Amino acid sequence: MVFAAIAAATLLINEHVANPLVQRSLYGALTFPSGRVTAVTATVLAMWLALYPLLGTQARRITLALGVAWVVLMALAVVGAHWHTPIDDVGSILLSVGLVSAGAVAFDRAAIRPRYESRAKA
């Protein structure tokens, strides 16, 4: 649930912070970074991080390959449909990886810290 919330927060930041700040438009619509590519990238990375401890090595590789393929296909689709430029997709991927990774680190530190503190007291 935490990783789903992190992915959702990434999309909200994209739509309500990044797009209005950058003000880059194509055909009259704000395009940088792409919301569709941000949603897919954030979802793929959040799911992969959430499932990482449950999957074996081979399953992790397959899951990552399928996720990357999904991101690439979405990026190609939005550029091919003339909704975005390639730089919009690159910005979306960088934003998603950065925010989801930062959220995962913050969650991991919050979840691990109490365990280490309880060990230190014992």
28-44: pLDDT as tens digits: 777 788 889 999 999 99
**With bands split at pLDDT 50, 70 and 90, how would you rate the model's confidence at 27?**
confident
| Structural element, H or E, at residue 30 | strand 29-30
Which residue carries 């991080």 as its tokens? 49
Check pLDDT > 60 for residue 117.
no
Give the pLDDT confidence score for residue 33 in this predicted structure: 84
For residue 103 the two structure tokens come to: 């959220």
Give the pLDDT confidence score for residue 24 in this predicted structure: 77
- Average pLDDT of the residues of the chain: 85
The contacts of residue 6 (CB under 8 Å, 6+ apart) are 42, 46, 99, 100, 103, 104, 107
Spatial separation of the C-alpha atoms in residues 117 and 28, rounded to whole Å: 53
Q: What angle do CA 88, 94, 99 make, to 5 degrees?
A: 125
**With bands split at pLDDT 50, 70 and 90, how would you rate the model's confidence at 112?**
low
Span 94-114, mean pLDDT?
A: 84
- C-alpha 92: how far from chain center: 8
- pTM score, whole prediction: 0.78
**Residue 29 DSSP SS3:** strand
8 Å CB contact between 85 and 79: yes
Spatial separation of the C-alpha atoms in residues 77 and 47, rounded to whole Å: 22
Which residue carries 């940088």 as its tokens? 32
